[in-house]
A and B are shown apart, each in its own frame.
Chain A
């Protein structure tokens, strides 16, 4: 038994244990990316560094064995700085987006690439599910959205952007949406002032969280600016009616023709658990300048009310998520994001490996009629899969997020370029996302997958590759899933057969 101290705690360890193992057994978490329970240590990523005693050297916790009397610090300013630098250095050689640019451009942060892929597969119900996660009025927005997503689409620099807005409309129009009425006893009651896009969206997401939603609006009919600020040519009001109906059948109570003044609001505040001010500029007048009661949530910024419906829809959702207490809706947007930026000419070809070569589809019956199935599936297949396949499970992203790493800090010169190696049914390999930890090299060697992976070259230009230009299928043998799962970043990820 060896006695040592970690973060001023006395810890006992077996001889031969690494600092990382020892800390883990004491419940102290040290970040690490290049380790794998199946393998010996390798000491590559260096984000596991800790400080020992008075010695000024940083020790990699994954591979340094404990010794008697060690005094380890895992979390002071210096250690944090060192890890942050290591992450930023890794990011300086990283080429790839975490989230697709279209999604980042979308005020509602809808997972557009996921929707596109599901539409292309013909799986409308799942596509609609993806849409509903972030957008309450997809059929309406599918007609009037100013579509900043399409402006950000990488395909735009190759030929034309993917027709995202029409695809969303296709999903919303074609998919039968059966509103789910909340059966449970409502946990809270909320009043929403204003039944425009923000109010409707707030109601939709509150009800999804089993929170009651009573809407108060001065107009005779619900819809706010969607109804009273939009022409019939722009938006067929029956589409709006249908989506309002859905929200109503989920359990929303509409109190139309009720103008709420200051004293009315005070009363509502007392009667309801929470109040959402979703009446644009008027929210300001109502909230007043004094202390706003804790239970009032203002959808969006009343000083600069949105003229874009999609933004209002996003703001309504944010208020609802806040009230539901299920996290800060800004978190997912504020998460660390590696942003690739403009594509080089050769990179366009790499991205085109993931999308069909077809031209942008135009609905046969004119834009007003929307896509038919064939058109929609063709159009959706044009999507380039810019989003990372491991956006949700990438250690580099997670740690960059928790250490507030800055992607471009050390990017003084041009970034590395994107390459994609795709083997359908096996894996996708993106060298630009590789951190050279060699887990794949060591796993394929250990499990006898021949020829396996190897390091090609050395130094800054080192890459992981298959010996003698072999294919991924050869390299991974029968353990593709094991290896792609073990890859700590999006460099290696699994891919289903014959889909993109």
Chain B
């Protein structure tokens, strides 16, 4: 053990700022942090035991007990939550035989954890077992998912790298490789496609592109034949990739073609890999509404989406990449700042502070060192814009940072990327390497950027906490002023901008501030990237002009509410935001009007809620997220959010009184006003906004009723006359609450029922209802 730690220390350094990377490395090695290891670390470095212990305990990434061989991650992001993730979690825990209060089973095979968002909101509910992601998982599917995971592991044949043969160029195949594409199996599709291409000796350009945004249709494969109409294939299964490709590209050699179709025939007979339960993706669904989905969008941060290979620097350059930087370098720093100021760009991290002013503040500081940080510590449940940008447009963000560095005089740059985004870290590192190899086109400008990984603390999205974390401390926010622009990282002037903000900067310089400021509303200029999810037909990552209405987003881009249900509200801005009710759906989406509606831009999650969603439950859900993520430093946030959550829990159990509703409102008011940082100040928003628009639902809960039928304590399951006595429910029930009675109507023992929803999902007749 000692040797391992010595090696890690040699690589990462002995100073406090290296503490988090060191702990991450130790955990990678041992799969938890053994106390012995931490003690030894203390002995051989200058880091105090108090710091090691304090930091290790602060970040949720670190664990102090050994984890199981496999990790089961149940996503409890917003989209998954509204689709029953809690029940799924319970069901997995039960099926994996993990004791209450524990996260690992006795044989240490599985460790289960809730994660705040896997970024696959359109596949909700989502469960990840190691690297395999399962979508649309119902609680009754737990067993089949585990079985499937066990049976997996067959490898595809090794790849032949000689894709480009000497035959005629036949066209291009683009495969989306954003995180949710990969989560839905696009990597397998990629392997399958490559396999087909090699076997058939096709002469096509195989291209990996970043996120296209159409996450509701992943994995996406786009086929552009040299002579012919481009086709987009959605929800493609690896085993069907061959058939799709063969439809467009014939093998140049007749014999190969013949052999291939025979093989396919044989495989079709043998193949029995799909299983029922979890919905895998149907093949050959031609996306007819692509135009509708993309039509109203304005790609600025996501320019060239679906075309750009994320890490191909030459392609980025050929599409106008680094032109903005070139222009900037020809300008004086003050003029660059002026351009950004005039563009009206506001920080996309949520609060909407004018970017130009922030830059100016850093520019104004006299200092031999100035730092610049790209804040990629996105942690909202149900928002994954930053990740998509980092994964798909790394050069654009780097370019934005370089422009900012030139404008502010920064001497060193950092990416701070959330630990849960491994692919983003890989892509950014790769892109940085390419930049270093190639040099910044056309300039002597020298500036280096390094990558820091977060360790699982939502509060570190707050800039002062982020700085503390980079310095190797607990992620405690500090009072501002002094703002980071004045005294930031290691006390030096520091510019911190959100990922999306940086991604919009090159466009402004390249196309001029006017072309940016002509888009958007009076107070909010340009475009904004949103993660559209929830009860919506076409979810995904969208970039829309500021000022677009919620209705346009939901109906035109999103294709309306799923299942023809009625829109109830749209939750905007995640745990810092609020619920905009259906009757305000014509409200413009920009910083100002969302604020008026009691919501907030936040980092840009848009979760569509329908009539079956309980607003009290939604508010409780968000509050429980922020309460859990509170750093615990200031009283209002630490204890205040806990007490609000107490009341919310009593409400969902029908145990609260009207007086407590007033207390809830009062607490929310004081927490908003009194908390130290943005996390606490905005934590009450989901509660306050739902109290404002859906008070009658709160009152119903006080009277012991959950109108949407979501709150477990206030509902009961019962079997209706449709029951045919098939006994499936009785067999599936984990609580033995349903007596096995073939051919007779079944009944649910209310005493035993844990309201896990499995029977309702399992019933083939739809006979089980909630009242």
Interface residues of chain A, those whose CB is within 8 Å of chain B, are: 41-47, 49, 56-58, 60, 63-65, 81-82, 85-86, 89-90, 92-93, 410, 412-413, 435-436, 441, 444-445, 450-462, 465, 467-468, 470
Chain A residue with minimal CB distance to B670?
A85
Q: Knowing A43-B633, A45-B635, A410-B639 are in contact, say whether A450-B48 is a contact too (CB < 8 A).
A: yes
Bound Cα distance from A92 to B674, whole angstroms = 17
Chain B residues 620 to 668 lying within 8 A of chain A, measured CB to CB, are: 627-636, 638-643, 646-647, 650, 660, 663, 666-667
Chain B 189-209: CB-based contact to A (< 8 A → 1; otherwise 0): 000000000000000000000
CB of B632 within 8 A of CB of A458, answer yes
CB of A64 within 8 A of CB of B57, answer no
Residues of A within 8 A of B632 (CB): 436, 455, 457-462
Greatest chain A CB density within 10 A among B457, B629, B634, B663 is at: B634
Bound Cα distance from A65 to B486, whole angstroms = 14
Task: Indicate if B58 sits at the interface (CB-CB under 8 A).
Answer: yes
CB of B636 within 8 A of CB of A46, answer yes
Bound Cα distance from A451 to B53, whole angstroms = 10
CB of B628 within 8 A of CB of A459, answer yes
Chain B residues 25 to 64 lying within 8 A of chain A, measured CB to CB, are: 35, 38-39, 42, 48-54, 57-58
CB of A43 within 8 A of CB of B49, answer no
Residues of B within 8 A of A90 (CB): 635, 639
Greatest chain B CB density within 10 A among A42, A413, A435, A467 is at: A467
Closest-CB distance, A325 to chain B (whole angstroms): 39
Closest-CB distance, A21 to chain B (whole angstroms): 14
Bound Cα distance from A165 to B598, whole angstroms = 62
Q: Which of B4-12, B474-482, B762-770 contacts A (4 or more CB under 8 A)?
A: B474-482
Bound Cα distance from A41 to B630, whole angstroms = 20
Q: Knowing A445-B50, A450-B48, A467-B53 are in contact, say whether A458-B58 is a contact too (CB < 8 A).
A: yes
Residues of B within 8 A of A45 (CB): 634-635
CB of B48 within 8 A of CB of A436, answer no
Chain B 451-491: CB-based contact to A (< 8 A → 1; otherwise 0): 00000010000000000000000100011011000000000
Residues of A within 8 A of B635 (CB): 44-47, 86, 89-90, 435
List 17 interface pairs A-B (beta carbons < 8 Å), by A numbering: A46-B635, A46-B674, A64-B479, A81-B670, A82-B674, A89-B639, A90-B639, A413-B646, A451-B49, A451-B50, A454-B49, A454-B51, A458-B630, A459-B631, A460-B638, A460-B641, A462-B638
Bound Cα distance from A457 to B673, whole angstroms = 26
Bound Cα distance from A85 to B633, whole angstroms = 16
Interface residue tally on B, bucketed by range: 35 or more
Closest-CB distance, B343 to chain A (whole angstroms): 28
Residues of B within 8 A of A470 (CB): 49
Which A-B residue pairs are the 3 nearest by beta carbons? A467-B53, A462-B632, A451-B49
Bound Cα distance from A155 to B167, whole angstroms = 92
Chain A residue with minimal CB distance to B629?
A459
CB of B639 within 8 A of CB of A93, answer yes
CB of B50 within 8 A of CB of A460, answer no
Residues of A within 8 A of B676 (CB): 43, 46, 60
Greatest chain B CB density within 10 A among A58, A436, A454, A468 is at: A454
Residues of A within 8 A of B643 (CB): 89, 92, 410, 412
Q: Knowing A58-B673, A90-B639, A92-B639 are in contact, say whether A85-B667 is a contact too (CB < 8 A).
A: yes
CB of B638 within 8 A of CB of A457, answer no
Chain B residue with minimal CB distance to A462?
B632
Residues of B within 8 A of A457 (CB): 57-58, 632
CB of A58 within 8 A of CB of B674, answer yes
Chain A residue with minimal CB distance to B52?
A467
Closest-CB distance, A474 to chain B (whole angstroms): 10
Q: Knowing A56-B673, A58-B674, A412-B647 are in contact, say whether A454-B639 is a contact too (CB < 8 A).
A: no
Q: Knowing A413-B646, A456-B54 are in contact, say whether A44-B627 is a contact too (CB < 8 A).
A: no
Residues of A within 8 A of B52 (CB): 467
Bound Cα distance from A410 to B479, whole angstroms = 27
CB of A468 within 8 A of CB of B49, answer yes
Bound Cα distance from A46 to B638, whole angstroms = 11
Residues of A within 8 A of B634 (CB): 43-46
Residues of A within 8 A of B457 (CB): 458
Bound Cα distance from A453 to B674, whole angstroms = 27
Residues of A within 8 A of B57 (CB): 454-458
Bound Cα distance from A93 to B660, whole angstroms = 18
Q: Knowing A89-B636, A89-B643 are in contact, say whether A452-B650 is a contact too (CB < 8 A).
A: no
CB of A412 within 8 A of CB of B660, answer yes
Instruction: Choose from A64, A410, A436, A441 the contact partner of B638 (Cβ within 8 Å).
Output: A436
Residues of A within 8 A of B481 (CB): 65
Q: Knowing A43-B634, A457-B57, A460-B638 are in contact, say whether A49-B674 is a contact too (CB < 8 A).
A: yes
CB of A43 within 8 A of CB of B639, answer no
Chain B residue with minimal CB distance to A91?
B639
Bound Cα distance from A444 to B58, whole angstroms = 19
Chain B residues 250 to 292 lying within 8 A of chain A, measured CB to CB, are: none
Instruction: Choose from B48, B631, B641, B642 the contact partner of A458 (Cβ within 8 Å).
Output: B631
Can you add 14 more A-B contacts, CB < 8 Å, to A46-B636, A436-B638, A451-B53?
A44-B635, A57-B673, A63-B479, A85-B636, A92-B643, A412-B646, A435-B635, A441-B50, A451-B48, A457-B58, A458-B474, A460-B627, A460-B638, A460-B641
